[in-house]
Amino acid sequence: MARRLLQAGVEVMVWNRSVEKTQGLLEEGASRAAELSELARREVVFVMVARPSDLEEVLGVDSGLLSATERPRAVVACATVDPETSARVRSLLHRHGVESLAAPISGNPHVVADAKSTFVVSGPRGAYEEFAPLLERIARTSVWVGEHEEAMTVKICHNLYLGLIAQSVAEVTVLAEKSGVERSRFLDFLNVTGLATPWVRNRTADLLALDWTPTFTTELLRKDFELGMDRARHVEAPMPLAAGLLQLLQVAIGRGYRDADFLSLFALQAESAGLRIEPVDAAATPPHEPERE
């Protein structure tokens, strides 16, 4: 995200609790804040962290952004957190005179780098309209969904759907492969049917190669499923499929896939089915081109 802003000619200052993670951005033109409080002098601060507690920590009045004597005009919170945490953060920022937008982003690092990601945003409509051009220097587009914490609910639902897609593909692909169908041929077919999705197409090479290099880890997906189950309990919405997948994510983490990409659900499914899977060289199995009349 920061790199996209730099490429658009925006002046960017970065801070990370793990200092080494900022090094590449410095080489591309960003400056680095020695202390988090230095960011308070910027007009807009984007925050991207993993968990609700992290968001409250980095924005807090004790040692976070609001511990500084100066204040930014606005904070754009891009982490996926529960609506209750988002509301507390918004209230805290408001009391200190800082505008707030909840703006989680859809898209892994590769998607963001290719300018194909999407922000879902909630907060005051005026603030959204003011800062939307900045958001769209990062993403392909942004969608405003309400004045309060609606963006967090939308993003949680989005991530539940993402996990369910991954598990669905894992199940049917393992079934096909264990039944004697080549994995590449099954995915070749799936990707040209009416059920094809850009996400499955984009991840097919990883499924073939059994490449679980993380774009989004199993542990982080479990966090989002826990948020989703909390939201479902809060509004009394049944979620039978998501509840089952949360347990499978727990199994995957217990089997050593905690820090792997969540697409490793395929490996877990294969293990459960007693199927021995091997990497497939996608280059050696070019997609079949169906005959056309």
| Entry field: residues in the chain | 293
Residues 223 and 258 in one domain: yes
Q: Give the span between the Cα atoms of 213 and 195, in whole angstroms.
A: 26
121 CB-contact burial (10 Å; exposed 0-12 / middle 13-18 / buried 19+): buried
For residue 71, what pLDDT is reported?
93
Domain assignment of residue 130, given as a range: 2-148
**Residue numbers of the chain with a pLDDT score lower than 50:** 287-293
For residue 132, what pLDDT is reported?
96
Within a domain: 289: no
Residues 192 and 105 in one domain: no
Number of domains in the chain: 2
8 A C-beta contact, residue 196 and residue 169: no
For residue 222, what pLDDT is reported?
98
For residue 21, what pLDDT is reported?
92
8 A C-beta contact, residue 204 and residue 225: no
Q: What is the pTM of this model?
A: 0.91
Q: Give the span between the Cα atoms of 145 and 135, in whole angstroms.
A: 15
Q: Give the span between the Cα atoms of 265 and 103, in whole angstroms.
A: 28
Residues 175 and 130 in one domain: no
Domain boundary among 148, 180, 198: 148
Q: Give the span between the Cα atoms of 100 and 11, in whole angstroms.
A: 20
For residue 290, what pLDDT is reported?
42
Domain boundary among 104, 121, 148: 148
Q: Buried b / exposed e across 250-272, counting CB within 10 Å, b at 16+? A: eebbeeebeebbbbbbbbbbbee
